[in-house]
Every structure is written in structure tokens, then in C-alpha cells.
Amino acid sequence: MPAPRTETLNIQTKPIMKVLVVYHTTYGHTLQLARAVEAGVKSVAGVEAVFRRAPEFPHVEKELEAGDGYATKIWKDQKDIQPCTLDDLREADGPLLGSPTRYGNMTAAMKALIASTASLWLSGAMEGKPAGVFTSTATTHGGQETTCVTMMIPLIHLGMLIVGVPYSSEGMLHTEGRGGTPYGATTTAGPKGELAPTAEDLVRCGNPSDPGWGKSLLESMTRGGLWVGKGAVTCGVTPCHARWARAGFALAGYGPRRPTVKCQAARWME
């Protein structure tokens, strides 16, 4: 009697989702948050984490190279991390962007990266992608909320769906001197950068056991990009968006694929 035929199925285990973690930092706090975000991304099966830094301005690079202070040390520690390109953004199924605050806004380097995406905006390449933001501030009220919310605005123009940190996330209701906003993961670095992100701050960045941001964001990406949270299209006014974010909704704006907006875009390009 012939032996039963056995077949080996050649199943390729290809990552189904590519999550881009892109950050900017001067003193390393946002880098620490970014690494925690990356760890959260990597903990989800079928998801590939792409880790990038926002390109530094040449004149700042020159200063950092010539210096010998703490910022130079942090700069040199990042030598093996590739700068983010437009292709990285285009190829990402979902980007997560982190920037320290500068007067309540993202840094110029992160803004320059986002401002270089005109071709992605015109082609609608980023539309419908889930996105999240995270930040570091020196002080408790130095801009955790404003930095996150202002970082969201260009992402909404690009047509992305923004997710904040739901209040069901562990440790969100607190009065301590640490991060934890509904708009994105945050940390408080201290006026001299003397503080480190707390364990709670890092959990909010991407701990897989966290029922909030990390889990809802990453698991939704693994489900083929379908959003598991509730979507909300709002009027586009920041306080209105902020209200939705506080309620745990994902945000959506009108991307350039809407015919009227596209016509306007075409006019701008003339």
C-alpha cells in the first residue's frame, strides 16, 4: 500500500500592516516615547514597525556635530536611525508621530517633514490612514494638549483618521505630574530635562495590555485598516475636534479626494 502523500504548504508570513513611528527629539525624551510606541507596534502579530527620525536641519546638524553637550550625545546616539522620507510616509499603513513641544507646537523639524508632503496631499496617498501623535513638554502645562492637537491639524488635511487615547485607557484619570492626555501619549521632561518618562507614560505609548490607545490603534490596523472605534467627521474647527477626541472618537477631515477640494487644489497648483 502506498504511503499517504503529505504536502507542505508554503504559507508566507508577510507583515500585513506597516506602522511608521517617526519622531524628533533634542534631549531624548520623545525618543524614549517613540521606542515604547515601537515596542507596542511590534507586539501586534502581523504588524511591521518602521522606525524613523524627522530629518534634522543641516545647520542644526552642524551645531550638534560640533558640540559636546547632552544634545550632542543624544544626536550621536541616533546615528543608526534613518531619516524619514516621503516614501516611508507613502508606504506606511499608519503613521505615529512624536515631537517635543516648542512654544506649545511641534518642532520646526517635524513641521518641515509634514510640510514636505504636498505630493502626498495632492495624490491623496495618506487619506484614510489611521494616525496618532505623542509629545514631550518640559512642564505640566507647557503644551501637552496644544502640541498634540496642533500636530493633528495637518494630518487631518492629509485625510488621515486621528486617534487619541480613550479614557478607558489605564491611568487616564489622574492629577499627577506626568503625561496622560486624551489627545496622544505624553510625558513631562522637567524644566532641565531632568525627568524621565514614567512607567504610566510608556504604557500609554503602546503597551499591548493597555485597553486604550496602543491596543485600539494597533489592533485596528491589523484588521486591514478598518477602524474599530467610532469615526466622526467634524466641522474642522479645533475645539470641536478636541471635544470628539476627548470622547474617544477617531477624527476625520475632508481629504483632497473630495471633488470640490480637488478642484481648489488644482487651482492652487496653476
Ligand X SMILES: Cc1cc2nc3c(=O)[nH]c(=O)nc-3n(C[C@H](O)[C@H](O)[C@H](O)COP(=O)(O)O)c2cc1C
The contact set with ligand X (CB under 6 A) reads 25-30, 100-104, 136-139, 142-143, 189, 193
**Which residue, 97, 83, 197, 76, is CA-closest to 154?**
97
Q: Report the first-to-last Cα separation within the chain, whole angstroms.
A: 78
Q: Annotate 2-28 with DSSP letters as a single string.
A: PPPP----------SEEEEEEE--SSS
| Residue 57, amino acid | F
Burial annotation 127-163 (CB, 10 A radius, 16+ → b, else e): bebbbbbbbbbbeeebbbbbbbbbbbebbbbbbbbbb
Radius of gyration of the chain (CA): 20
The least distance separating ligand X from the CB of residue 134, rounded to whole angstroms, comes to 10
CA neighbours closer than 13 Å in the CB half-sphere of residue 234: 23
Question: What Cα–Cα distance (Å) separates residue 161 from each residue in 34, 65, 95, 124?
Answer: 20, 38, 10, 13
DSSP-derived 3-state class of residue 200: helix
Task: Note whether 41 and 49 are within 8 A (CB).
Answer: yes
Contact 78, 53 (CB under 8 A): yes
**Minimal CB distance to ligand X: which residue?**
142
CA atoms within 13 A on the CB side of 101: 28
